[in-house]
Amino acid sequence: METKILSTKEIKKAAELIKNGEVVAFPTETVYGLGANALNPEAVKKIFKAKGRPSDNPLIVHISNLNQLKKIAFVNKKAKNLIKNLWPGPLTIILKKKKIVPKEVTANLESVAVRMPKNKIALKLIELSGVPIAAPSANISGKPSGTCFEDVLEDFNGKISAIIKSKHCDFGIESSVVDLTEKNPVLLRPGALSFEKLKKFLPNLVLHKGKTIAAKSPGMKYKHYSPKAKIILFEGLAKNKIREYKRKLEKSEKKVKIIKPANSKEFSKKMFMLFRKCDKKNIDYILIPSIEEKGIGLAIMNRIRKASTKIIKK
Ligand code: TXA
Ligand code: MG
């Protein structure tokens, strides 16, 4: 298949492809998405095929207005308050789904994940398509999320109908996923919108930890965000210990890179790109010291942990 590269002035062409049941990669403020008509099961299946994504991992449905939301989900009070304050933005809400949403999107769950992105190109694409767009992050399943055009092209050239070529994604890290289907709200995936900010609107919000997460959010059990290089996370260790570890690996002919994260949007913006760059340089090991799990640091640490093959603690 030929993958068309569309400019941000050609969103109409991209929308036509979505209407025709094709898959188009598009920018959002978090990461690039791999989108298709959420109400067309055959189109949705193409997303899973292109990504190599297990079919039991549900997709987020992206909308551009609240009428679309009413059509696909039952909106409760808590959701209304969040939406009023935090949409459009990097927040995904899990709600009870309506029948119109195909089981392919939700992996047979009775709930649906919904997000109204802030990125203007994403919003325009949804608007012109006239349908909600189901979209996971644009990366081959298991790899670091695609956060710039080049990385999306690398994964999907020849596999999807088109890619909208835009700037590097603003946050570079996925949306925060909040489950509002139970009595108490749960943050299933920390993301670009901080836990602290969410707490302001959901005082009872808790961060989901532990094993039951796999049942609640099926995607959590899979390998995630991993470059070919092995990532080793050092939690609470002194810098000289990490350098020592590096020297040891280098003695056995391994190519090693230390990535120092910062608790900032500048770092989250480039993190997945840095992981992918290491693969281009044939790095064997990436060593990363931990940062404080506050603000965007919570999401950064969550992604690094999931990408790690080993965690070394004090
Ligand atoms: O920022 C983002 O959220 C990006 C952009 C493209 O919007 N999308 C994204 O999608 O990160 P994806 O598929 O890579 O991650 C979606 C996560 C997965 O962990 C999935 O299991 C979870 O959301 N999820 C989707 N639907 C769910 C549901 N009904 N219940 C619980 N978890 C759900
Ligand atoms: Mg993903």
Share of the chain above pLDDT 90, in %: 91
Q: What band does 219 get if pLDDT is binned at 50, 70 and 90?
A: low
Ligand 1 and 106: CB distance under 6 A = yes
Its pTM surpasses 0.75:
yes
- With 0-12 CB in 10 A as exposed, 13-18 as middle and 19+ as buried, what is 169? buried
pLDDT at 292 over 70: yes
Of 244, 234, 236, residue with least CA distance to 286: 234
Specify the CATH architecture of the domain 230-312: 3-Layer(aba) Sandwich (3.40)
Q: List CB-based neighbours of ion ligand 2 within 5 Å.
A: 137
* Structure token digits, residue 288: 């990363």
Q: Ligand 2 mean position to 234 CA, how many Å?
A: 24
Confidence of residue 233 (pLDDT cuts 50, 70, 90): very high
**Percent of the chain clearing pLDDT 70 (strictly above):** 96
* Residue 82 vs residues 96, 112, 236, 313: alpha-carbon distances, Å: 16, 16, 35, 37
**Residue spans per domain, the chain:** 4-207, 230-312
Identify the CATH number of the domain defined by range 4-207. Answer: 3.90.870.10
Lookup result for tokens 């990669």: 25
With a 6 Å cutoff on the Cβ, whether 174 touches ligand 1 is: yes
For ligand 1, atom 15, which residue shows the shortest CA distance? Answer: 136
- Mind listing the pLDDT tens digit for each residue in 24-40? 999 999 999 999 999 99
